[in-house]
Structures are given as C-alpha cells and as structure tokens.
Amino acid sequence: MTVLADDRITSVLDVAAGVLAKRAGTAVHLDDPEDLGGSGRTAVLRARVIDNPVSLDRTVVVKAFDEETPAAQVLREIASYRYATALPTQSRPGPQLLASDLDARVLVLTDLGNGRSMVEVLGSDDPDDVERGVSAWGQALGRMHAATLGGDEDFATLLRISGKSVKGSVRKAVAAGGGVRDEAAAAFAAFDDVTRQLGVDLPTDARDLLGEGLALFDDGDFRAFSPADVGPENILLNGDGIKFMDYEWGEFRDATLDVAYAQATFPARLSVDVVGHRPELETALSDAWRAEVKPLWPSMTDRGLENRILKARTLWVWLSTYWMIRGDATGHDWALHTTDARVLLSRWADLADAGESVGAADGFVDCADRVREALRVFWFG
C-alpha cells in the first residue's frame, strides 16, 4: 500500500471537495481520510462527507493522479467510469462515478466498503469457498459483458465528450488505444528475439497463434466493455456481489480476453491446500461466464469458445514472459505482471494443461512445455 504524506492527503481532499462542490452546486467538506493505497502514481483515499448537503453517502472514495500520469490515461478512466455508471444498476460492474475533473486529475467514486478482496478469497484453505468465489467472478464478468455488448459507439462518444477540453494529441492518444494492447503488440513483435534469447525453436504456428490472440483486441462479434486489468487484486466481494475496480485502461475488446486473464492470474494466489483444484476452478469460472453470455452468441459452439479462450490465454502468458525476460516494469501494477520465475513456470505448465483439456491443435502442448523448459534452464540452469 502506498503511504501518503499528510500534505498530499490534505491537498487531494481539498481538490476532491472542490470537484464535488462544483457538481453539487453547494459546499462539500471531506474529512477523516483513510489511505487505500495506489500504484505509486495515484493516491486512493476513503473520506467521510461532512455536513452532507446533497444526500451523498457518508463516505466516498477519491482517486487522484500525479502530474506524471499521461492525460490520455486519466481521460480513459473518467470515460470508463462514466460509461459503467450509465448502465442499469444491476449491470454496473463496480463503483459509480460521482464527480470528476480531468484538469485536476481527480475522480470521486461511491464507496464499495471493505468486503473481501478476491486475493483473500483465493487464499482460503477451503476449496468450496474458493470455488464459490471464482464462480461469482465468472458470473460477474459475464453480466458485464452481456450488458455492454454492442456499446462501442456509446463508449467512443463518452471519450470524445469527456476529452473535449483537452488537446487533440491527447484525444488521438486515447483513440489509438494504448495500455496493455500496445504492450501485447510489442510482445508479439519480439517473438523471434525472445525465442532466440531463450534458445528455443518454435514453429511458425506458434507465432501465428499469438497473432490470433492479439487480433482479439480489435475485431470480432464478442466485443464488450472491460476494465482491462480484471485480476484478483482489482476485485472486491461485498454484499452486492463481485465488483471490479480500477478502470485506467477501460476499453472494448473481445470478452474472452477477460476470461483468459482471470484464468492466467488467479492460480498464483491459491493456497497450498487448494492449488491442486486449479483445473476444476478454471472450469467453474469459465462455465459461470459462459452461462451469462451464451444466449447472446448462440452461433458460437462450446469448442469454439474454448479455443478462443485458449488463444487469449496464450497471449497473456506470452506477454507476462516478455515483461519478465526484458526486465520490463511497465506492467508492475497489473495482476499479469510477475517477477517470480516460479509463477511464470507455473503459467506455462497450466497453459499446457489447458491445451490438453480442450484438445488443442497438434503441437500446442509440446510448444508450451518446450518454452517452460527453456525458461527453467534460462533462470536456474
């Protein structure tokens, strides 16, 4: 958790109170701040609303970006929260946006409370408890995807409206995407360099599969809204169910990327007593998601969905490998990013298991095993 100096806390609260007052049309006072942590470039605080003049909740959450954060990133998060807040109540994937100011780099959100983090749920020693948690995770992903299918143009409009006061270069940067999509593209482009560095010779089919995974960011009929980093660290389980947080790179992309991201990231958080149940937990998550979205995509067979998820998962595992091999800390605040070689080796082993379980194309499991062995030799000799 990021520990903030008192002067920065005071400054963030003052700015947030001003943003809320501008929205409410009357003075608002915030006090009793609680540091909820941040990524280093952000401050996230819970604050109590004093002399509640506009029937606000008793507490709110304030997120403030520092001056080093690209304006395009702040704009994308504001637009993402605006889009999600406009959804029907039962379909909102996370907190609601109460007020924001792009120039001040501040957002004020509803407070989801403490609840249980998904990290805590996954760390339970009770397999049934963990299965309930990952099933709820998959169901929540499915509800979010089902509610936002076909909303690309609405989201694009909100991006334009939210950024109407910024320079054209900022709007162009947002329109171009950025974030993890660009990182994935860089990892794909580095395929030959990384395999050469690892001393592993892979067929062109392996590179082609990564390309198909990358295309899931841009094309297809499964495009739905995603907060982008839907890993365990950004999920809270409270009285209203699963809630997703942190929309800095919110975007529309193929929904199977989120399912694959969850499957790639949650095993590292399992307790030693539950890790052996990983395959069943992966199935529970994808089955819960599938139950929510299948009515919207009746033309997609179960086998088609499984293969699509496997492509997406392969891309995520490759990206986490690229980050680690290059010593790149770009994704340091993403669940996908790891500096632990054991986690990465496990991801490749899990990927091979997933390929075998869905009957992947000939050579898939062998390629995953060969990369894992090359990584083992690379780090441990």
Among the listed residues 104, 239, 249, the one whose alpha carbon sits nearest the alpha carbon of residue 182:
249
CA distance 51 to 58: 10
Taking only the tens of pLDDT, the chain with its 381 residues reads: 455 567 788 899 999 999 998 887 888 889 999 998 766 678 899 999 987 666 667 899 999 998 888 888 899 899 999 999 999 988 899 999 999 999 999 999 999 998 999 999 999 999 999 999 999 999 999 999 999 998 999 998 988 887 766 556 555 555 555 678 999 999 999 999 999 999 999 999 999 999 999 999 998 788 999 999 999 999 999 998 999 998 988 999 999 999 999 999 999 999 999 999 999 999 999 999 999 998 888 777 788 889 999 999 999 999 999 999 998 777 668 999 999 999 999 999 999 999 999 988 889 999 999 999 999 999 997
User: Per-domain residue ranges for the chain?
Assistant: 6-110, 116-149+190-380
CA distance 28 to 208: 55
- Give me the CATH code for the 116-149+190-380 domain, please: 3.90.1200
What class, spelled out in words, does domain 6-110 have in CATH?
Answer: alpha beta
pTM: 0.93
339 within 8 A of 324, measured Cβ to Cβ: yes
Of 170, 261, 175, the residue nearest 213 (C-alpha): 261
φ and ψ at 177, to 5 degrees? Answer: 105, -95
CA distances from 127 to 131, 231, 234, 269 (A): 6, 19, 21, 13
